Amino acid sequence: MTTAYEFIIDGYTFPRTDVPARGPIVEFSPQRWSKQDVLVRDVPSVLTHIGHSSQEWDFVCDRASTATKDKLLAVYNAKLAVLFKTPQNTTGFNIVITRLFVRYAEPADNGRFYIEWTAVAQ
């Protein structure tokens, strides 16, 4: 990937080879809708996303480094909103990672991981 776009999640800058999107992502206000995600921590709870502030993005990092995998796991396991900065929105906005899929526990080619994750704006 030869882009110079910078994506930052919770203070972690994605390395150039790990950026989750090819360019600036599109932010918009979707129609009214709601979605529930079950969060299991000490006390099970349901996180409900309602209305125009709940835009959702699916990302794929097909050659993610160990540091990227560890950061995404930490954010996902915390189940808390974190700041996500994109090339066109350098002030950022809060997201929660509601789905994280790491294909294998061990890295594949050149110590890289295949990761899919879903971010929901808060």
Give the Cα-Cα-Cα angle 86, 91, 92 (nearest 5 degrees). Answer: 50
Instruction: Report the range of poorest mean pLDDT among 53-57, 63-67, 76-80, 114-118.
Output: 53-57
Fold of 8-121: Elongation Factor Tu (Ef-tu); domain 3 (2.40.30)
Average confidence (pLDDT) over 28-45 = 70
Would you list the domain boundaries of the chain? 8-121
In the chain, alpha helices (H): 66-78
Percent of the chain surpassing pLDDT 70 = 84
Average confidence (pLDDT) over 35-46 = 74
